[in-house]
Amino acid sequence: MSLPHAILTALLERPSSGLELTRRFDRSIGYFWSATHQQIYRELGKLESEGYIRTLPAEQPARGQKKSYEVLPAGRAELARWTAASQDPKPQRDVLLLRLRAAAVVGTEGLEADLRRHLELHRRQLAEYEEIQRRDFPPGKDAREDRLRHLVLRAGIDLETFWTQWLSHALEEFGELPDLP
């Protein structure tokens, strides 16, 4: 049920067309809550039929014009209800961790190279987050909204830092594993 809430959040930040919304997802919300373009468009239709959003009137009627959406009071109330509700953390599900567990019984063929690939991907993501932090959160940017958005970014930075450190440690362990008989 979180995708509709991610969309409501994005539309409250700035009314947008579906295309603009999918691009914004790709550049921001998608870092921590991903969705395909089809899922976003499908959800926009549901949110509109539930009375949470509406299509903004077009300035000039035109064939094929993109619709822009805004959040209605019912949508704001739903987002506020959802934000205030208690939710338990989700269990960690990571296929790489499961593959490491399986390697204990079937061998590690190909796994070290993939650990190195994962490490590089996490290093790149960390660098991207750190660049966003430098660009979007300079010292003195202390408005309430900015501080909350920065907290989300900090979570991403901290998670990527964890993964780069953990993967570096895992690769050290791989170097010390005894050969199989």
Q: Which residue has the tokens 């997802």?
A: 25
Going from N- to C-terminal start, the domains of the chain cover: 2-84, 95-176
In CATH terms, 2-84 corresponds, of 1.20.58.410, 3.30.450.150, 3.40.50.720, 1.10.10.10, to 1.10.10.10
pTM tops 0.85: no
Average pLDDT over all residues of the chain: 90
Angstrom distances, CA of residue 82 to CA of 70, 76, 87, 88, 139: 18, 10, 9, 13, 31
Residue type for position 147: R
pLDDT tens-digit series, residues 73-109 = 999 999 999 999 999 988 888 899 999 999 989 988 8
pLDDT tens-digit series, residues 5-48 = 999 999 999 999 888 888 888 778 777 787 888 999 999 999 99
- Rounded Cα distance between 157 and 137, Å, is 13
